C-alpha cells in the first residue's frame, strides 16, 4: 500500500506518518528529512532554499526521491511525507509509483502558525519540543535530557513560516484535486492518538 500524507506545515503529518508506518510496517519517506540529512555541497545547495522557506527545484527533489525509492525495505509499501509538493511533482510521481490513498490532515493557518513558531529542537539529542503545545521542555528552551539550549529551525522563524503557508495553499493544495478520488481528509486539531486511530480505520476500510 502506497500512501501520501498531505498537510500544511505543522499539521502533524510527519508525526502521523511515523506512527502509521510503524503500525503497518510501511517505509516512511520524508523528503524534508532526506534534504536535512544531505551532506557537503548538496546540503549547502538545499539549505539556501529551505532556510528561506522556498521549495527546492523539482528536478533535484525528484532525483533524491528516486534514489531513496531504489533502496527498498520490505514490500508493504511506503508513506510519502512532504512529497509531492506541487502538480509537477505529482505528475512525475504518477510515472514511477502507484498511489493508493492520500491522507489530508487539516488544520487552520492560525493553528499552523502557532505550532510552527513554538517548535524548538535539541541539536544533541534530536528531540523536537513545542513551547506552546507538547512536548513542552521543563525549563524554558532547555533540553530535558541533556540541558543544552534549544534552537529554532531557520524555516520555523516568522517570515519563512508565512511564506511556507502561502506556498502550501498556492502550490501544494492543487494536488488534492489531482488525486481527488483517493483523498480522505481528517481533522488535525485533535489529540495525536485520536487522529491516528481515524487514519487506521480509513486504511482498514480501504483494503
Ligand atoms: P518539511 O520538513 O517537509 O516541512 O520540508 C522542509 C523544507 O524542505 C521545505 O520547506 C522545502 O524547502 C524542502 N522540501 C521538502 N520536500 C520538498 C519537496 N517535495 N519539494 C520541494 N522542496 C521540498
pTM exceeds 0.85 for this model: yes
The whole-number pLDDT of residue 158 equals: 85
Look at strands 78-81 and 183-187 and give their pairing. Answer: unpaired
Residue 153 bears catalytic tag: yes
- The strands making up 101-106's β-sheet, listed across from edge to edge, are 27-30, 78-81, 3-7, 101-106, 183-187
Question: In ligand 1, which atom is closest to the CA atom of 160?
Answer: 10
Q: Which residues contact 154 (CB under 8 A, 6 or more apart)?
A: 50, 51, 160
Question: In ligand 1, which atom is closest to the CA atom of 167?
Answer: 10
The helix/strand count (H/E) of the chain reads as 9, 7
Please report where in the chains the cell 532547555 appears, as a residue: 142
Q: Which of 37-46, 78-87, 103-112 has the lowest mean pLDDT?
A: 37-46
Residues 69-76 have a mean pLDDT of: 77
Does residue 207 register a pLDDT over 70? Answer: no
102 forms bridges with which residues in the sheet? 4, 183
- pLDDT (tens digit, 9 = 90+) per residue, 127-183? 999 998 889 999 999 999 999 999 998 888 888 889 999 999 999 999 999 999 999
- pLDDT (tens digit, 9 = 90+) per residue, 12-68? 999 999 999 999 999 999 999 999 999 999 899 999 998 888 999 999 999 999 999
User: Among residues 99, 108, 103, which one has the least CA distance to residue 184?
Assistant: 103
| Catalytic, out of 68, 101, 164, 196 | 164
Ligand 1 site residues (CB inside 6 A) read 9, 31-32, 35, 49-50, 53-56, 61, 82-83, 85, 89, 155, 164
Amino acid at each position: 500500500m502506497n500512501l501520501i500524507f498531505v498537510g500544511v506545515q505543522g499539521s502533524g503529518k510527519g508525526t502521523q506518518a511515523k506512527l502509521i508506518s510503524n503500525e503497518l510496517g510501511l517505509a516512511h519517506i520524508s523528503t524534508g528529512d532526506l534534504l536535512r540529512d544531505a551532506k557537503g555541497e548538496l546540503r549547502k545547495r538545499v539549505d539556501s532554499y529551505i532556510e528561506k522557506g522556498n521549495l527546492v527545484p523539482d528536478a533535484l527533489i525528484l532525483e533524491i526521491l528516486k534514489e531513496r525509492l531504489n533502496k527498498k525495505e520490505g514490500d508493504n509499501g511506503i508513506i510519502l511525507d512532504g512529497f509531492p509538493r506541487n502538480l509537477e511533482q505529482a505528475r512525475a510521481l504518477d510515472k514511477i509509483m502507484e498511489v493508493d490513498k492520500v491522507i489530508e490532515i487539516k488544520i487552520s493557518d492560525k493553528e499552523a502558525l502557532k505550532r510552527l513558531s513554538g517548535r524548538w529542537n535539541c541539536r544533541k539529542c534530536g528531540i523536537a519540543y513545542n513551547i506552546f503545545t507538547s512536548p513542552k521542555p521543563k525549563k524554558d528552551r532547555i533540553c530535558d535530557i541533556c540541558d543544552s539550549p534549544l534552537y529554532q529551525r531557520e524555516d520555523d522563524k516568522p517570515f519563512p513560516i508565512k511564506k511556507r503557508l502561502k506556498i502550501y495553499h498556492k502550490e501544494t493544495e492543487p494536488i488534492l484535486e489531482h488525486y481527488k478520488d483517493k483523498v480522505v481528509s481528517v481533522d488535525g486539531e485533535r489529540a495525536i492518538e485520536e487522529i491516528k486511530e481515524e487514519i487506521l480505520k480509513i486504511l482498514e476500510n480501504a483494503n
